[in-house]
Homo-oligomer: A and B are copies of this chain.
Amino acid sequence: MRKSLPIFITSLSLTLFSSLTTATSYDSNQKVALDLTQNALKSDLAYKITESLTVEVGPRLAGSPQNAVAVDWAEAKLNALGFDKVYKEQVVVPVWQRGSAAAKVISPYPQNLVVSALGGSVATPKNGLTGKIIRFESLDALKHASHKDVEGKIVFIDKKTERFKTGAGYGQSVGGRVNGAIEAAKLGAIAIVIRSVGTDHDRMAHTGMMRYDDSINKIPAAALSAPDADMLDAMLTRTNEVELQLTMTPQSLGTTTTYNVIGEVTGATKPDEIVLLGAHLDSWDEGTGAIDDASGVAIVTAAAKLISELPQRPARTIRVVLFAAEEIGMLGGKAYVEQHKDEMAQHYIAAESDFGADRIYRADLKVAAGVFNEAQALLASLTAFGVELGDNNARGGSEVSLLPAQGVPVASLRQNGQDYFDYHHTPNDTLDKVDPEALAQNVAVYAQFAYLMAQSELLLRPLE
């Protein structure tokens, strides 16, 4: 269904005008989108932005001093690129410092293991804690264990993460990371270690957020690298009596204020209507956050910048939101929804880039069912860049996944996630994992998507 034009135009002239301009604007929009794409594919802007953020800022855990540097960097970068408006919005975040983490098999075969504290974990006692390992295939298996078997031990969740283009393996294994400490503590465990949620075989642990339940004892939680999880398995095939020492010194230090950083390319005719392109500025603290999510920051920033270089601004405003604190619970996204609740109706559509730097292979939407085919047809030109047109079940990804509940249509421009979980949340998330050509393809797709949506005359609401 077409969006209605202002009511002071008579019904007859409306009909004439609408069908004339629609035909013309469709062609001219497609022409502009094509030019935009050609420019995007030739541009190294996104790579330069990724390089700048990883080299000049590096790791930027929400709440850390480096995160404040990242906020300054983002404001300066958006200003330098000539965005029409650049501003920031407060987000209160907890402060968690990693400290050190060490794990050691005490018996039967003394060996150091490579571990990383999970985000938010409490510390062990100063001199560490020691306990026998009890292994579970999965979080579910742990849930079915008995208090008698687990009490006083260190739980080891040994779930492997399978490799898929969609990244679906992550969802299948991340439960142990997020909720393992709660379930283990319920059964009297003194700590939990998990096989890293990752698809690689590098001797690096994958960190990531974990949760506590205030009514349940908080126990230290760490991830083991895949080779170290294999090592425990090999020892456990020899004996059930594997004793581990774990020593971790993370600290929770209250809260602090950080910022969502926002840049806008103001719409020519509908400046109050927003096409939101999101990414997150924060990262985990052991890599330089190149694929998670400097590349996303770079993709959406470069896409909006390229649109701003067109001879004419598109109808709607392109709003780039660099969210403050995705990694520690989408706090930037939650703050954004709260702070912009009166403006939600003006969000035309939103998408977020937060799945690395590999090519986009599919575009899904979440729009009114009645307009899905037309909306998809608008994006038909994406297929020239290897992007298949998907379904109407998009969730939008990361912070943007909070928006459909507010009635906001979203798109998922899906990246190939085959290798994403090799590096995700590890020291190995560095610039060399970013392919400049794949990054440029992302920019081309986002620029085309954002431009076409900013010009679209479809009414994408209401969502079901």
Contacts and interface: CB of A to CB of B under 8 A. Distances in A.
A201 B54 CA distance: 16
Interface string A50-65: 0100111111000000
Contacts of A56: 109
A203 interface: yes
Contacts of A238: 55
Contacts of A426: 203
Interface string A143-168: 00000000000000000000000000
A27 interface: no
Contacts of A230: 430-432
A407 interface: no
Given A111-B288, A288-B111, A203 B428 contact: yes
Nearest to A66: B110
A57 B431 contact: no
Contact of A433 (B58, B201, B288): B201
A350 interface: no
Interface in A420-445: 426-428, 430-433
Interface string A395-438: 00000000000000000000000000000001110111100000
Contact of A57 (B109, B227, B432): B109
A400 B31 CA distance: 70
A296 interface: no
B55 A427 contact: no
A230 B114 CA distance: 24
A212 to B, nearest CB: 28
Contacts of A287: 203
Interface string A202-240: 111000000000000000000000110011001100100
A131 to B, nearest CB: 20
Nearest to A287: B203
A431 B235 CA distance: 13
Contacts of A203: 204, 287, 426-428, 430
A57 B111 CA distance: 8
B202 A202 contact: yes
A452 B426 CA distance: 49
A222 B227 CA distance: 25
A66 B55 CA distance: 39
Nearest to A227: B430
A352 to B, nearest CB: 26
Contacts of A202: 202, 204, 428
Interface string A295-318: 000000000000000000000000
Given A201-B432, A288-B111, A428-B202, A55 B226 contact: no
A127 B270 CA distance: 59
A205 to B, nearest CB: 11
Contact of A109 (B58, B114, B431): B58
B430 A51 contact: no
Contacts of A204: 202-204
Interface string A272-293: 0000000000000001100000
Nearest first, the 4 A-B pairs at minimum CB distance are A227-B430, A58-B111, A203-B427, A55-B234
Interface of A: 51, 54-59, 66, 109-112, 114, 201-204, 226-227, 230-231, 234-235, 238, 287-288, 426-428, 430-433
